[in-house]
Amino acid sequence: MSAYAINASGQLLLDSLTLTQQKVYRDLNIALSQPDSVFALDLSRKKLKTVPEELKKLPNLQWLKLDRNNFKEIPYWIGDLRSLQYLDLSNNNLVELPVSIGKLENIYYIGLNRNRIETLPHEIGNMKNLQFLEMWDNELQAIPEEMKNLHNLQILELRGILFSNDEQLQIETLLPDTKVLFSPSCNCSN
């Protein structure tokens, strides 16, 4: 088995094992001094208020941690980071995701835990390689019908979000091959 693949844009994609073995840069300025060498970047706990636009200068970026910052929104250009396979945006103040998130066709993991996300864009259904979507402790009201297109989705983490029994059943029906993790139902009326 090869340690990499070439995506539709002709970019090198590392397999998940090889990706976890890459050097993790923790300083954006150091990463920018050698942009072609950066496959993994951790900007967690940096008290950032906006996602640095300089990320677009890292052509091989495939693993990105932006958790525990102060983001209120994710820029539309996030969809231009087409090589991303792993993206952690947990513990921010996000209420929504841009529709461009659906352009991340190579992504297999998205962490959105502990935000305030109320809705997901329909374009999330375009993320054909998505395997893990963690959204516990958000304000999600429903999931878009387009998520039924996520045939590789293995785990959908929705604990800490109050869904009624009917809503839980509807989500499980939409994603029959996905392990969906819920908190006990709220037994609340719509």
Which pLDDT tens digit goes with each residue over 50-109?
Answer: 999 999 999 999 999 999 999 999 999 999 999 999 999 999 999 999 999 999 999 999
Q: What is the pLDDT of residue 185?
A: 80
Report d(CA 47, CA 82) in Å as an integer: 25
Pairing between β-strand 63-65 and β-strand 179-181 as defined by DSSP bridges: unpaired
pLDDT-derived band at 10 (thresholds 50, 70, 90) equals low
Percent of the chain exceeding pLDDT 90 equals 87
pLDDT-derived band at 8 (thresholds 50, 70, 90) equals low
- Domain locations along the chain: 4-181
Q: Is pLDDT of 116 > 60? A: yes
| CATH code for the domain defined by 4-181 | 3.80.10.10
Unique residue bearing structure tokens 């841009």:
98
Rg (CA), the chain: 17
Whether pTM exceeds 0.85 = yes
